[in-house]
Amino acid sequence: MYGMVNRALQEMVEGSQGTDVWERVKTRAGVDVEVFISTEGYPDELSYKLVSATSEVLRMSVDGVLEQLGGHWILQTARYGYGDLMAAGGASLAEFLVSLPEFHSRMTAIFPELNPPEFRVERNGERGVLVHYYSHRTGLTSLVKGLLRGLGEMYSEPVTVTLVKVRGQGSDHDEFAVSW
Ligand code: HEM
């Protein structure tokens, strides 16, 4: 994954726990990278190791770390680092979610090596959608939950996010019901 993902985790940990704690996370993960470069590719394995080490050092569940990272990604990384891209996503939560399937494909010109997830979105009542999430990767369900909650916060819409179908349990992908 592009380094911006590892950087986001670093900023999240450093922001609440300080630099020393992030150094402990890296040591525990066996990751010897001084500075993550946002636009450079790193093995997925490295990001998974950092998330797992964060969960151990902070005594949080891996799902808790991923969900927090999703919120941080939307409210800090994307908002302040990629504000134009986010603004192009829509003027309301509903608009953003409906255009989510195209979101990452708009970025492939800037990030040619992007291997993004795929989303399919269908309307579900007046104030809701079903978000279908497909990925080449596994284990990132809670990240998506945090991202969707973060989007609600970004648009100041109190949002409910419920995992309604789980990949590997009678479904080939995760499905979330999002309502506001
Ligand atoms: C400007 C905003 C955004 C940027 C710059 C961005 C960029 C990226 C990048 C670089 C990756 C790592 C994949 C790779 O490097 O191959 C990624 C992964 C991911 N993105 Fe985004 N993204 C943004 C917004 C969003 C939003 C709004 C959502 C959904 C609500 C989202 C959902 C995900 C998920 C779930 C992954 C994990 C990869 C996977 O599931 O396979 N992203 N994104």
Q: Is residue 85 a part of any domain in this protein?
A: no
Q: Is residue 108 a part of any domain in this protein?
A: yes
Span from the CA of 147 to the centroid of ligand 1 (angstroms): 9
The structure tokens listed for 103 are: 């979101």
Q: Based on the domain organization, do 169 and 101 belong to the same domain?
A: yes
Span from the CA of 108 to the centroid of ligand 1 (angstroms): 11
Alpha-carbon distance of 176 to 178, in angstroms, equals: 6
Handedness of CA 136, 139, 141, 143 (dihedral sign): negative
Q: Based on the domain organization, do 95 and 56 belong to the same domain?
A: no
Span from the CA of 25 to the centroid of ligand 1 (angstroms): 23
pTM, two decimal places: 0.97
Q: Is residue 84 a part of any domain in this protein?
A: no
Q: Determine whether the shortest distance from the Cβ of 99 to ligand 1 is under 6 A.
A: no
DSSP assignments along 4-54, one per residue: HHHHHHHHHHHHHH-HHHHHHHHHHHT---SS--TTSB--HHHHHHHHHHH
The structure tokens listed for 14 are: 């450093």
- The pLDDT mean for the chain works out to 97
Q: Is residue 68 a part of any domain in this protein?
A: no
Span from the CA of 116 to the centroid of ligand 1 (angstroms): 6
Distance (Å) of CA 3 to CA 41, 44, 61, 145, 152: 6, 10, 23, 21, 25
Quick one: which atom of ligand 1 is closest to the CA of 147?
30
pLDDT at 134: 98
- CATH code where residue 103 lies: 3.90.1520.10
pLDDT at 57: 98
Q: Which domain holds residue 9?
A: 3-60
How many domains does the structure of the chain reveal? 2
Q: Which of 60, 77, 99 is the last residue of a domain?
A: 60
Span from the CA of 44 to the centroid of ligand 1 (angstroms): 13
Q: Is residue 72 a part of any domain in this protein?
A: no
Q: Determine whether the shortest distance from the Cβ of 176 to ligand 1 is under 6 A.
A: no
pLDDT at 89: 94
The structure tokens listed for 114 are: 């992007």
Q: Determine whether the shortest distance from the Cβ of 78 to ligand 1 is under 6 A.
A: yes
- The answer to whether residues 160 and 178 touch, using CB atoms and an 8 Å cutoff, is yes
| pLDDT digit string, tens, across residues 102-143 | 999 989 989 999 999 999 999 999 999 999 999 999 999 999
Q: Based on the domain organization, do 96 and 171 belong to the same domain?
A: yes
